[in-house]
Amino acid sequence: MTTPTESGPAPATALSPEPGNGGRLLAAGAASLAEHVARLGPVPYRGRPAQLVDELRAAGLTGRGGAGFPMWRKLAAALGPDAAGGPDAAGGQAWSGPASVVANAAESEPESAKDAWLLTRAPHLVLDGLALVAEAVSAADAYVYVKAGPAAEAVGRALAERRAARVDQRPAEVRLAPPGVFVAGEASAAAAVVDGGAAKPFPQFVPLAAQAPRGAGRQGRLRRSLVVCNAETLAHLALLARHGAAWFRERGTVDEPGTMLVTVGGAVVSPGLVEVPIGATLAEVVGRAGGAAERPGAIRVGGYGGSWLSADRTPDVPLSRAGLAAWDAAPGPGLVHVLPARACGLAETARLAGYLAAQSAGQCGPCRAGLPELAAAAGQLAGGGGLTGSWARQAAEVAELVDGRGACRHPDGAARLVRSALRVFAADLHAHAAGRCAGSGG
Ligand SMILES: Cc1cc2nc3c(=O)[nH]c(=O)nc-3n(C[C@H](O)[C@H](O)[C@H](O)COP(=O)(O)O)c2cc1C
Ligand code: SF4
């Protein structure tokens, strides 16, 4: 059998840092505060929350941390019923008392490189966005949640510059995310760390807005209300607050405006970070990373808990939530990974499912019992050996069982990954049952 050849470290170089190549964030980078302000000017909107909510609503900025939740709704929820949009916008809930705001740069997806890049090369963009949200909701405090390393050091330097220049009403602080913990980036885990607890999701966390993907919430065990935003979301916010909603909508689709950072990895000529308009096709995205380095068998979008798509059937599929929905897929935090045809998709799925099972916080039934079972079934499918049909049924059943039943969305990703493998590598299941493997490209 072919052994998996895919994994490799996350790429960290930006491939398209210049403007004109779809680049907004990648082109706006300035490490020093002086250069940042010289290029972009000061932060607008200070102390005008309703205007910021209106601008965000007009721009249609959605969260770039994975769930794609509308940013204006999150802000309106944090502001309460009197904010633009009223109580309906906030899902009918609001809290009283000052909130804390968190820039989530934990980047727990092993293949992702965008948030570390932003904090290292354009930290003031993220910090401007954080300041805008913090000041809009009159936050008691603000945090950057990031793993120890160059990105944390860069943001520490940037925060010192801002403190010296008195840029922010509430200077932010760094809180460290643990390395190598997949669920540590989940919003309630980030909230827990800021609140002085352990970096794991907590089941009692209640999202504020009715459909809020754990991006804003409050709950008993926390001592404060938290607004958690992905670092890239805040960087977009900093630009659109300066340039306006119409400018923001010049790229992307009507429903999902703007650009997104995408970490492209696997069998491509130049693995790295690109910035594309939302809705760019998968072929365009892979092309921006130099194209496939060898014949591709499948493309995984959305990260470890993402979905496999067949490489030859999907080059024209848009990288957007709407474009990928029909394929039971989503862009996630902007991840595209090309699996070469010679590599075994089932073995790769087993490896990823095993990782996701081992990375659960082990607090809820679906994670404790379901994910090991799912990983075991995926392992059996990769190994082949006669009982493939019953293992495939088992995998499909467990995926169905765990999906949507955890306190956070960690199990959903594992279920989506395995379901997509059963679809895309269906022909390989038969080959494996007969003790053969021709790789993911048939
Ligand atoms: C298992 C898991 C891991 C996550 N890891 C991250 C992460 O590392 N960084 C991040 O911004 N969001 C992560 N998220 C998404 C957050 O829960 C949350 O939706 C996001 O930070 C909200 O910001 P946004 O609305 O700006 O996207 C993760 C979600 C799950 C279920
Ligand atoms: S679903 Fe899994 S990762 Fe999420 S809170 Fe429950 S045990 Fe933790």
Q: Between β-strands 307-310 and 335-340, what pairing exists: parallel, antiparallel or unpaired?
A: unpaired
Among 133-137, 293-297, 307-311, the range scoring the smallest mean pLDDT is 133-137
Q: Between β-strands 216-218 and 225-230, what pairing exists: parallel, antiparallel or unpaired?
A: antiparallel
The residue whose CA is least distant from atom 19 of ligand 1 is 215
Looking at the domain that runs over 345-433, which CATH code has it been given?
1.20.1440.230
* Rounded Cα gap, residues 84 and 121, in angstroms: 34
Contact 422, 377 (CB under 8 A): no
Per-residue pLDDT tens digits for 205-217: 544 433 333 444 4
The predicted pLDDT at position 93 comes to: 36
364: number of CA atoms within 13 Å, CB side? Answer: 23
The predicted pLDDT at position 218 comes to: 41
For the segment 154-165, the average pLDDT, to the nearest whole number, is: 97
Residue count of the chain, please give it.
Answer: 442
The DSSP bridge partners found for residue 407 are none
For the segment 365-393, the average pLDDT, to the nearest whole number, is: 87
The predicted pLDDT at position 196 comes to: 82
Per-residue pLDDT tens digits for 330-346: 999 999 999 999 999 99
* Rounded Cα gap, residues 267 and 291, in angstroms: 9
Mutating to test ligand 2, I would choose from 360, 402, 403, 416 the residue with most ligand atoms within 8 A of its C-beta, which is: 360
Q: Between β-strands 141-147 and 335-340, what pairing exists: parallel, antiparallel or unpaired?
A: unpaired
Residue 91, pLDDT above cutoff 70: no
Ligand 2: does its nearest atom lie under 6 Å from the Cβ of 183? yes
Read off the DSSP letter of residue 373. H
* Rounded Cα gap, residues 50 and 46, in angstroms: 11
Q: Which atom of ligand 2 is nearest to the CA of 405?
A: 1
The residue whose CA is least distant from atom 1 of ligand 2 is 406
Domain ranges for the chain: 33-248, 259-340, 345-433
E-strand stretches of 278-397:
296-301, 307-310, 335-340
The predicted pLDDT at position 7 comes to: 37
Residue 327, pLDDT above cutoff 70: yes
The predicted pLDDT at position 369 comes to: 92
Residue 8, pLDDT above cutoff 80: no
Ligand 2: does its nearest atom lie under 6 Å from the Cβ of 410? yes
Cα–Cα distances in angstroms (integers) from residue 336 to residues 31, 274, 284, 311, 314, in the given order:
27, 10, 11, 12, 13
The predicted pLDDT at position 170 comes to: 86
Cα torsion at 282, 285, 290, 293 (round to 10°)?
A: -30
Residue 5, pLDDT above cutoff 90: no
Percentage of residues of the chain with pLDDT beyond 70: 85
Cα–Cα distances in angstroms (integers) from residue 370 to residues 115, 379, 406, 410, in the given order:
31, 14, 10, 12
* 3 CB neighbour count, 10 Å cutoff: 10
The predicted pLDDT at position 78 comes to: 84
Ligand 1: does its nearest atom lie under 6 Å from the Cβ of 145? no
Ligand 1: does its nearest atom lie under 6 Å from the Cβ of 187? yes
- Radius of gyration (Cα) for the chain, nearest Å? 21
Return the CATH number of 259-340, one of 3.40.640.10, 2.60.40.1480, 3.10.20.600, 3.30.565.10.
Answer: 3.10.20.600
For the segment 37-49, the average pLDDT, to the nearest whole number, is: 87
Q: Cβ-count burial of 165 within 10 angstroms (0-12 exposed, 13-18 middle, 19+ buried)?
A: exposed
Ligand 2: does its nearest atom lie under 6 Å from the Cβ of 406? yes
The predicted pLDDT at position 46 comes to: 76
Sequence letter at residue 393: R
Cα–Cα distances in angstroms (integers) from residue 352 to residues 82, 168, 372, 380, 415, in the given order:
45, 41, 12, 14, 11
Ligand 1: does its nearest atom lie under 6 Å from the Cβ of 70? no
Mutating to test ligand 1, I would choose from 126, 186, 408 the residue with most ligand atoms within 8 A of its C-beta, which is: 186
Sequence letter at residue 141: D
Ligand 2: does its nearest atom lie under 6 Å from the Cβ of 192? no
Per-residue pLDDT tens digits for 243-286: 999 999 999 999 999 999 999 999 999 999 999 999 999 999 99
* Rounded Cα gap, residues 442 and 304, in angstroms: 22
- Per the listing, tokens 């949640």 go with 145
Domains 259-340 and 345-433 share a fold: no
57: Cβ–Cβ under 8 A, 6 or more apart, which residues?
70, 72, 84, 85
For the segment 24-51, the average pLDDT, to the nearest whole number, is: 89
The predicted pLDDT at position 43 comes to: 87
* Rounded Cα gap, residues 188 and 207, in angstroms: 9
What are the start-end ranges of the H helices in 245-344? 245-248, 282-288, 321-325
The rounded Å distance from CA 183 to ligand 1 centre is 9
Ligand 1: does its nearest atom lie under 6 Å from the Cβ of 256? no
The rounded Å distance from CA 428 to ligand 1 centre is 33
Return the CATH number of 33-248, one of 3.40.50.300, 3.40.50.11540, 1.10.1200.10, 3.30.70.260.
Answer: 3.40.50.11540
Helix or strand holding residue 105 (H, E): strand 99-105
Q: Between β-strands 259-266 and 335-340, what pairing exists: parallel, antiparallel or unpaired?
A: parallel
Per-residue pLDDT tens digits for 163-185: 999 999 889 999 999 999 999 99
Which position has the higher pLDDT, 79 or 148?
Answer: 148
The predicted pLDDT at position 48 comes to: 84
